[in-house]
Structure 1
């Protein structure tokens, strides 16, 4: 990957590299290390799917998909994270980037109805060790080198949009409100690497894919695109609410018929 091509593709400049405190040579070294590892990561993601998500009824989900992080997106994220949180990411380099970046292996699980999150949440938190005492705070000092130790590495959290109906329990999961982003997030330590699991409804996934393709993170300052994305987000939220109403209506009809 050439520097000019990368900067052009991700709407970045040399000033962004300077702000992140990282050189192109270091980014190129990270890229080369990641390319050596990507096939291994792809296999680990497949193993996770086969071991824990292939039986979708047991997992409490509608469907799933997974991917390894696209190399250009990895470099862009490193630049962004070092700029946004320089203290936390200052030590990141080509020898340890996988200890900092928790979504090299990304899995999406989908729900038909928003309320179904609880079934998946309880499945994951019962399947993997969920001990707050071993949640990762310092990416280097807290990294567990035991590849056989599988556990939840951060407290699960959910991003919810202001105005959404109350379906989450703060005793079960951290609730982050006020934005337009809707998603469950779990970080699992598995076979020596982090696996990020995001849970969304099918409608939420549709909005998210369009927003990430057009707006985030390269045109997030474009007011017109942001307004259109917010409108689509509200529509997807309304579709989720209507889906829940449909299911409740069906249950009421079944209850009346059974009587």
Structure 2
């Protein structure tokens, strides 16, 4: 017990969440859940998760084998959630969504069905335009239901694999969303995040699968390391502004690479000697890229001009 107390206190102190725990304790006592309810359920979840981790690693490996044949993939990556990350997420969810019973009453018996990212997978593509081929392959491998529930995931069915929540394509401001119509639900992302998200029921475990380009992954990795869930960092203000600039730059780089792929397959331009002719569609694409680069430079100049020297 003393080891757990030391671990818990260190985890909460290191992530500056003591105020959140105090607030949750007050709300829990009002509801009659008893003292230090969050700490109690987190210890129970900790014990259950540690005992189940070997099984999760096996499911992770089997799932990776299952999707290894996807076409047009640059690389795959996967992980089983670390226990620190799991417990911190539970604290945040209870604090931010206390009114939602599934988070308020989360327990060792329910957390695996409430959280969809105990196992996480990433499918990294070379180019933005390849997402639909991967989407079609996923739908073929993991069938969609006739309809999705308004909230939560479709319950596991023994021996079946399927998509358990409506897939979502996150897109950046200014993106052409007509590509998603009738195929996948589209949602704007304030940070300019581009990715397709799927929750898949596989061997009675929910797996979160994200599909994105190498450019999206570069930005996401940097943002996740230095900004996301790092509000306590003393330089978070600067980092938050820089991640917005980086998102714009990497999205533009992704658009240029997609244009190069299209040009390779004889779209947008035609070359003759030293001359390059562009068609109307290519002209519009170039204008969009120039505008995006200009906005990136404006954002960077604004950031620089606001610095106190």
Q: By the TM > 0.5 criterion, same fold?
A: yes
Change (3 A) 1:117 1:138: closer
Query: Does 2:266 correspond to 1:252?
Result: yes
Alignment of 1:166-177 (within 5 A): 166=177, 168-177=179-188
The Cα of 1:256 is off from its aligned counterpart by 6.1
String of CA shifts for 1:54-107, please: whole Å, max 9, x gaps: 2242xx422111110011110111111122222141221112210111000100
Aligned to 2:170: 159
String of CA shifts for 1:188-218, please: whole Å, max 9, x gaps: 0110110110011001101111111111112
String of CA shifts for 1:151-199, please: whole Å, max 9, x gaps: 1111100111112344631311111114122211000011011011001
TM-score with structure 2 setting the length: 0.75
Larger Rg over CA atoms? 2
Aligned to 2:133: 119
Query: Does 2:18 correspond to 1:9?
Result: no
- Which runs of no fewer than 5 residues in structure 1 stay unpaired? none
The Cα of 1:138 is off from its aligned counterpart by 4.5
Aligned to 1:196: 208
Query: Does 2:190 correspond to 1:179?
Result: yes
Decide which moves more: 213-222 or 84-93.
213-222
Query: Does 2:113 correspond to 1:108?
Result: no
Query: Does 2:51 correspond to 1:47?
Result: no
Residue 88 of structure 2 is aligned with which of 69, 76, 79?
76
The number of equivalent residue pairs is 250
Aligned to 1:209: 221
- Which runs of no fewer than 5 residues in structure 2 stay unpaired? 29-36, 272-309
Change (3 A) 1:118 1:187: same
The Cα of 1:114 is off from its aligned counterpart by 0.6
The Cα of 1:4 is off from its aligned counterpart by 2.1
Aligned to 2:295: none
Equivalents in 1 of 2:260, 2:58: separation in Å?
39
Decide which moves more: 127-136 or 64-73.
127-136
Alignment of 1:133-144 (within 5 A): 133=147, 135=149, 137-138=151-152, 143-144=155-156
Aligned to 2:142: 128
TM-score with structure 1 setting the length: 0.88
Secondary structure of 1:252's match? Answer: coil
The Cα of 1:134 is off from its aligned counterpart by 5.2
Change (3 A) 1:231 1:131: same
